[in-house]
Structure 1
Amino acid sequence: TDESSKYLFAGMIMCQMQLATTNSLLAYQFITDEEGFARISSPEAKKEIGIPENYTPIQQLRVGYPENRVDSRETHTLSSLMERFN
């Protein structure tokens, strides 16, 4: 695939991961700094994580428990969400 497709597919996967994380009442944080990518791009780290040698990480999502306990999340209607964009 071409370079732009890699980022499109990675973005689609990250979106699904965000939704699954939120649904599980967990927290997530994007790792976007160069240092974070350097850590997971080394051959040793890729082997430890299980990333194939011929793959290059382009996005990273840290998942864990939020600082404050979340028992439920506020639900929104479509119209209340759309108001944010007006």
Structure 2
Amino acid sequence: NASPEPVKKGKTITVTGALTRASWDYNKYYGYGAQSVKLQFVKKGSTTWSTLKTVTTDANGNLKTTVTASVDGAFRYVYAGVSTTAAVTSGGDAVDVQ
């Protein structure tokens, strides 16, 4: 989730998310801590995503970072995966920069 929306150019956008993985022993999803996840951005009208930074999940799998608003577009998080957990890409969250 990227907020606030809309946002003024030059202001701070906070991008949050969460990384979870299944526990088949308990039939439940749990936050996946201490994992590196890429924050990506695509400009409105483009199809090319660019990596802005790498963010590390907290102990509960939560993600939170800030970026400066510059142009309309969308943010997403991309997790590359490990041997026991598949890669995953979040849906994009659009931002309107005014």
Which one has the largest radius of gyration?
Answer: 1
Higher strand residue share: 2
Instruction: Output the TM-score relative to the length of structure 1.
Output: 0.29
